[in-house]
Amino acid sequence: MDKFRIRGGKPLHGKVAIGGAKNSALPLMAAALLTPEPITLHNVPTVRDIVTMAKLLAFMSARVSTQDIPSTHYTIEAASLNDAVAPYELVKTMRASILTLGPAVARSGYAHVSLPGGCAIGARPVDLHLAALEKMGAEVTTEHGYLFARVPKGGRLKGANVAFEKITVTGTENILMAASLADGVTVLENCAREPEVTDLIHLLRKMGAQIEGEGTPVLTIRGVSALHGATHSIIPDRIEAGTFLVAGAITNGDLTITNCNPAHLSAVIAQLTRAGVPVEICDATTMRVRGSKNLVGADMTTQEYPGFATDMQAQYMALATQAQGTSVIGETIFENRFLHASEMMRMGANISIDGHRAVVHGPAKLSGTMVQASDLRASAGLVLAGLVAEGETIIDRVYHIDRGYEQIVEKLRAVGANIERIHGVSS
């Protein structure tokens, strides 16, 4: 397993370009299952989850081609779908594999996918995806860890009114895709409004889908009998951009972040401003962050979009360890997303956990040690802590970070960080 070695204390200076959004690229790749015609995607990030999704689609007999290596352009052509079941070994590494369920059952009236398990951040059930498909006429059963969904008598899914009990990002995306090919009108209430959902709506519309309500909690989808090929460029990754904002701030540096969409980061920018970090929006795709000697503790609670993203919580916690005073951080989306806190405490952070709240007292002098990454965003939080810690931090299990951060070592080194990957050292 690879590790990262970081020698902290260097301010980051320069420019960093943001890649395409992983959490947008994954549903958009799955949407290719809805049509026999090719879907071409640009600005696809070079991260491990994308490779896993490509393998999964190929398993379902889609032809996946890339134009260069490492590639940001993918063409996916699902001329026909087979009923092959992706091995659990493939699916278990990426919960987003559930995104193939809606499109597959809508297109071929049948889908058979591995039930994704829980993960470090919580149980993460998919009951809301399944209940919505059942409302649309699918029969759903689970057996031996696999999900079977079929439309009786080989018919089509039927439009339905679905009110999600809880806001779910991939649930909204799965049912949006299914409803696009269903017979009749589907009205979805209490939908996720994340920019990645809107990006999916934009692709589906290019494919011929009829969807209204983008950016609102109510989506109305008028099902069509067939969708066609399209070309689309994935939106920038707002979590990667937010992570670099914190990197610039925490190291007291000066970073210009390009190829991003500051409009998708309003809550993060507002929170950083409250914590004393100057963020300048230079234009529609560029931001600049400068370090501040006067970081102040500021409370924050994660919320669904447009609130502060749970995927930025670990990174914000790293910043809070360096701020003067107390920051109370509330996590409302996942039940177990504070695993990074105990690793930060081992580095000298003063954090106490009380259920869904973490209380961070700062500033703390962090010192490098051996820490373990538990999930993708926790790893990012630990990298940020390592950048400011005194001495050497070794982060183990960085395969988590490779799932969703493109070239993070190279990008950080290019702006002055002392970070390197140690290859293949078993833990």
**Closest CA relative to residue 396, chosen from 362, 370, 377, 418:** 370
Please return the burial class of 356, using the count of CB atoms within 10 Å of its CB with bins 0-12, 13-18 and 19+. Answer: middle
Sequence-distant (6+) residues with CB within 8 A of 153 are none
Asked if residue 158 lies in contact with residue 182, where contact means CB atoms within 8 angstroms, the answer is yes
Largest CA distance in the chain: 67
**Segment 48-107, which members bind ligand EPU (CB under 6 A)?**
95-96
Q: Does 23 participate in binding ligand EPU (rule CB under 6 A)?
A: yes
Least distance in angstroms from the C-beta of 231 to ligand EPU: 22
Identity of the residue, 10 or 400, whose beta carbon is nearer to ligand EPU in the bound complex: 400
Distance CA 221, CA 23 (A): 22
Q: Of the two residues 380 and 389, which places its CB atom closer to ligand EPU in the complex? A: 380
Which among 102-110, 161-169, 207-215, 365-373 is the span making contact with ligand EPU, rule CB under 6 A?
Answer: 161-169
**C-alpha distances in Å from residue 54, one per residue of 36, 128, 201, 330:** 16, 25, 21, 35
**Does position 156 bind ligand EPU by CB under 6 A?**
no
Q: Does 170 bind ligand EPU (CB under 6 A)?
A: yes
Q: Which residue has the tokens 């177990």?
A: 336
CA–CA separation, 238 vs 234, rounded Å?
12
Taking the complex as a whole, the smallest distance from the CB of residue 166 to ligand EPU amounts, in Å, to 5
Residue of 108, 180, 243, 310 interacting with ligand EPU (CB under 6 A): 310
Q: Contact region for ligand EPU (CB under 6 A) — 83-91, 165-173, 293-301, 385-393?
A: 165-173
For residue 132, state whether it binds ligand EPU (rule: CB under 6 A).
no
Q: Does 128 bind ligand EPU (CB under 6 A)?
A: yes
Shortest gap between Cβ of 14 and ligand EPU (angstroms)?
26
Question: Cβ of residue 54: shortest distance to ligand EPU, in angstroms?
Answer: 15
| One residue of 193, 340, 377, 411 binding ligand EPU per CB under 6 A | 377
Query: Which uninterrupted H or E stretch holds 149?
Result: strand 146-150
- The verdict on 376 binding ligand EPU (CB under 6 A) reads yes
Phi, psi of 301 (to 5 degrees): -130, 130
Segment lying near ligand EPU (by CB under 6 A), choices 118-126, 148-156, 203-211, 230-238: 118-126
Number of residues that bind ligand EPU (CB under 6 A): 23
State in angstroms the smallest separation of the CB of 253 from ligand EPU: 25
Considering only residues 268 to 297 of the shown chain, the ones binding ligand EPU according to CB under 6 A are none
Identify which range of 28-36, 125-133, 140-148, 384-392 contacts ligand EPU by CB under 6 A: 125-133
Query: For residue 377, how many other CB atoms are within 10 A of its CB?
Result: 25
Is 119 in the active site?
Answer: yes
Q: Please, are residues 344 and 351 in contact by the beta-carbon 8 Å criterion?
A: yes
The contacts of residue 328 (CB under 8 Å, 6+ apart) are 299, 300, 357, 358, 359, 360
Residue 21 lies near ligand EPU (rule: CB under 6 A): no
Nearest to 336 by CA among 374, 383, 386: 374
**Rule CB under 6 A: which residues touch ligand EPU?**
23, 26, 95-96, 122, 124-129, 166, 168-171, 310-311, 333-334, 376-377, 404
Which of the residues are catalytic? 119
